[in-house]
Amino acid sequence: MGVTRTLLLALVMSTLAALGQSPATYADDSQAVMRAHAAQDEAERAARWKELQHAIFGARSLQDGAGVIQIEAPEHALDAALVPITLTMKSATPIKGLYLVIDNNPSPVASHFTFGPSADPRTLKLRVRVNQYTFIHAVTETTDGKLFVAQQFVKTSGGCSAPVGSDNAQALKDVGLMKLHLLGTFSPGKPLQAQLMIRHPNFNGMQMDQITRLFTPARFIRTIDATYDGAPVFHLDSDISLSTDPVITFGFVPDKKGTMKLVVRDSDNASFNHSFDVPAG
């Protein structure tokens, strides 16, 4: 992923937009913004995806994901810095991984999940930043090496350059704190959904201080490893597009009472570990 990531960053740093989050007096669909975005037409968007597809998957072919992968996102996102995404997957052949690509973000590969034997990959939810009007592509990979793609268009802008808060020190105060909620009742061998919350500002290096003219240095989550009693649930390669204080909902299959262990590593090489009893308590 390292090389791909660098390539993609270089490819699209020019798309950095200095648009702000909607605070109190901007509706995101204001006329001026709409005019600006109408300039990029369908053909350009298709060309962009073709370019990204080649950079990420090389010559491998992608099949229509209808019936295999579905992506849900608000068409008009209310908060560009927090766009909730739901991914639903269904496949006879086991699912190996998932790529979430936000085409017009500065670093488009927002997430790459690799699922382990304890995973239930059917439903996955996360929150991302969206910098400008864009297609979001979800590509799922099955264990036989096939790739399936689904897409959705999202209208919002400014999520990447939006200030995290006015106080950077405050934003780092509880960094690494985690919570895990089980969304359902534990029953051995039955799939269970869990919601993981992580305190992390996920500074993407695009928030600028006007006095110093300096950007808050990037500090973002690079990987998350979830294991259940030592067996992998998922490994996530992440990037600057995850929202501040990321929240990820995922499924797993606890064969018996056990421990969900989370290891989060960020771009400063800080590592945060938490273990949670399943069921809780």
Residues engaged in binding another protein (CB under 8 A): 18-27, 30-33, 35-36, 74, 78-79, 82, 84, 86, 125, 127, 158, 161-163, 165-167, 179, 181, 183, 195, 197, 199, 207-212, 245, 247, 249
Q: How far is the CB of 148 from another protein (least distance, A)?
A: 24
Note the residue count of the chain. Answer: 281
Q: Is 165 exposed, middle or buried (0-12, 13-18, 19+ CB in 10 A)?
A: exposed
Nearest residue (CB) to another protein, 166 versus 269: 166
Q: How far is the CB of 46 from another protein (least distance, A)?
A: 27
**121 and 115 Cβ atoms separated by less than 8 Å:** yes
Nearest residue (CB) to another protein, 25 versus 269: 25
Nearest residue (CB) to another protein, 73 versus 240: 73
97's CB contacts (< 8 A; 6+ apart) are 112, 113, 114, 115, 140, 141
DSSP state of 244: S
Count CA atoms within 13 Å of residue 235 on its CB side: 9
Q: How far is the CB of 53 from another protein (least distance, A)?
A: 27
Nearest residue (CB) to another protein, 114 versus 152: 152
**CA-CA distances (angstroms) from residue 27 to 78, 80, 250?**
9, 11, 32
Q: How far is the CB of 195 from another protein (least distance, A)?
A: 8
How far is C-alpha 5 from the chain's CA centre?
14
Nearest residue (CB) to another protein, 21 versus 134: 21
C-alpha dihedral, 269 to 275 to 280 to 281, nearest 10°: -120
- Tell me the C-alpha distance between 193 and 185, whole Å: 9
Q: How far is the CB of 71 from another protein (least distance, A)?
A: 13
Dihedral of CA 58/104/271/116: which sign?
negative
**For residue 20, which of 167, 162, 156, 121 has the smallest C-alpha distance?**
162
Nearest residue (CB) to another protein, 33 versus 69: 33
Nearest residue (CB) to another protein, 181 versus 235: 181
Q: How far is the CB of 94 from another protein (least distance, A)?
A: 26
N- to C-terminal Cα distance for the chain? 38
Q: How far is the CB of 146 from another protein (least distance, A)?
A: 30
